[in-house]
Amino acid sequence: MYRLIKPIFFQFEPEKVHHFVVRRLKWFHEYFPMGSRILRSCYGVNISGLEKEVFGIRFPNPVGLAAGFDKNGEYIEALSDLGFGFIEVGTVTPLPQPGNDKPRMFRLPADSALINRMGFNNKGVDTLAERLRLLKSRNKRIVVGGNIGKNKNTPNEDATSDYIKCFDALFDVVDYFVVNVSSPNTPGLRALQEKAPLMELLHTLQQRNHKNGISRPILLKIAPDLTHEQLDDIVEIVLQTRIAGVIATNTTIDRNGLYSSPKLKEETGGLSGKPLTQRSTEVIRYLSEKSGKAFPIIGVGGIHSAKDARDKLAAGASLVQIYTGFIYEGPGLVREICKGLSD
């Protein structure tokens, strides 16, 4: 069915289509008679042997939804009907912010890719925390990650304060945290990936994490554009700060090898989808081998098939996440990957 609908969707602006689809998905889940059961029957995953424990959390299956799709945690229960083993919300910031000017998302069909420069548009961490609090009171079985960032107007020297605010607000309502310092769409944010500021940020969060004798896994999301020397630093930082692991990778600023028109390729922002498949797998393999598999990795970037997911896992990932592949291949992708992993 998605193959028939997709050409229609692709006639309209990506961001408008996104909001249209997820709102109707939520409506179907909540108000259509037996809507949730129908969605689970069509797309849910009920395959034994896929359960996996990673950084102390039990995941029903290893396929998650990457951050950015449900920034404000508005559609978690409806999205979980589509078979996801876990859902990552955000990136969220302390204060609400509108993000960058529209249009800010672009399809590259010739490359099965997207370019986005959303700019951490979200309703603020307090709104997200309240929504997750209500979710947890109703449904404790959905694994939810909280992806946290800084507001655009916060200078980098004060960034740690923003991350702490988000961390404290979400501590009781998420299962794990992701520190996002790798988005290309907030000016200066990627400078926080440098060794000194990143070490300070993660040390501070870890101190906060253990202050009451209760902790949450903290992961670091990194860019695919890092050099081997920078990846070596990431390994050292993860081991020294003892955070739980890494998400590899975020979107790329590289435009090499694209088939799309020059006009599309020149749009600023982060590129995701099939052009990222190989590079993200290379980063996963490098981190896994360099660290001696010392920490878990969530693999994300260009997963459009079960084979893509298997390649990420074979390279050293413990779990995978999808986003752009979900848009291009449709809601059946989660089940397809899970069936492929169980064969």
Q: What is the pLDDT of residues 18-61, one digit of tens each?
A: 999 999 999 999 999 999 999 999 999 989 899 999 999 999 99
264 pLDDT above the threshold of 80: yes
CATH placement of domain 2-342: 3.20.20.70
Average pLDDT on 317-326 reads: 98
**What residue has token string 């290379």?**
282
Q: Which pLDDT band holds residue 232 (cuts at 50, 70, 90)?
A: very high
Measuring CA to CA, which residue among 166, 134, 153, 165 is closest to residue 67? 166
Q: Which pLDDT band holds residue 184 (cuts at 50, 70, 90)?
A: confident
Catalytic (active site) residue 183: yes
Q: What are the pLDDT digits (tens) for 50-87?
A: 999 999 999 999 999 999 999 999 999 999 999 999 99
At position 120, the amino acid (one-letter code) is F
At position 238, the amino acid (one-letter code) is V
Average pLDDT on 253-269 reads: 95
Average pLDDT on 140-150 reads: 94
In contact, 89 and 128? CB cutoff 8 Å: yes
Domain parsing of the chain, residue ranges: 2-342
Q: What are the pLDDT digits (tens) for 324-335?
A: 999 999 999 999
| 3-class SS of residue 167 | helix
Region for residue 297 given its phi and psi (left: phi exceeds 0; alpha: psi -120 to 50; beta: otherwise): beta
Could you give phi then psi for residue 267, rounded to 5 degrees?
A: -65, 130
Compute CA distances 101 → 19, 98, 107, 120, 185, whole Å: 17, 8, 17, 12, 11
In contact, 87 and 142? CB cutoff 8 Å: yes
By CB neighbour count within 10 A (0-12 exposed, 13-18 middle, 19+ buried), where does 129 fall?
Answer: buried
Residue with more model confidence, 137 or 217: 217
C-alpha span between 200 and 207 (Å, rounded): 11
223 pLDDT above the threshold of 90: yes
Q: Which pLDDT band holds residue 297 (cuts at 50, 70, 90)?
A: very high
C-alpha span between 94 and 171 (Å, rounded): 14
**What residue has token string 């359960």?**
51
Q: Which pLDDT band holds residue 193 (cuts at 50, 70, 90)?
A: confident
Catalytic-labelled residue, pool 80, 183, 260, 272? 183
In contact, 181 and 220? CB cutoff 8 Å: yes
Measuring CA to CA, which residue among 52, 53, 60 is closest to residue 86? 60
Average pLDDT on 207-232 reads: 93
